[in-house]
Amino acid sequence: MYLLPSDGRLEAIERQGYDLNTLYNNLEALQAKSVTVFLDACFSGVSRSTETSESRNLIAAKGALVRPVVAQPWLNDPGFTVFSSSDFDQTS
């Protein structure tokens, strides 16, 4: 999963985006007692047109249902707090 600017393109995600695993691994490497992350994002999810399969700018996309997958141990670390604008079953 990546943080991507509103004008970012999926085909350039590794160049234009920032990998969330990298972010959280860097935060974990700080060995801080507590880490709080605020993400102000109005969109999370797929940005591919279902009719044409063409990539689109994320700014034109509508919110999508995203179900988080807890795969990294740092997601279960009580020292990490993440604030987001919606829950897993909501769009924002």
Confidence at residue 81, expressed as pLDDT on a 0 to 100 scale:
72
| Number of domains present in the structure of the chain | 1
**Residue 19: strand, helix, or coil:** strand
- Domain assignment of residue 69, yes or no: yes
Per DSSP, the three-state class of 49 is coil
Q: Is residue 92 part of a domain?
A: no
pTM for the complete prediction?
A: 0.48
pLDDT at position 55 = 45
Domain extent at residue 59: 2-83
By CB neighbour count within 10 A (0-12 exposed, 13-18 middle, 19+ buried), where does 81 fall?
exposed
Domain membership of residue 89 (yes or no) is no
Q: Say what the pLDDT of residue 36 is.
A: 83
Structure tokens at 68: 């988080």
Q: What is the pLDDT along the chain (92 residues), one digit of tens a residue?
A: 788 887 888 888 889 988 888 888 888 899 888 888 777 766 554 444 444 444 444 445 554 444 554 455 556 777 777 676 766 566 65
For the chain, what percentages of helix, strand and coil (3-state, to nearest 5) are there? 25, 15, 60
Assigned domain for 91 exists: no
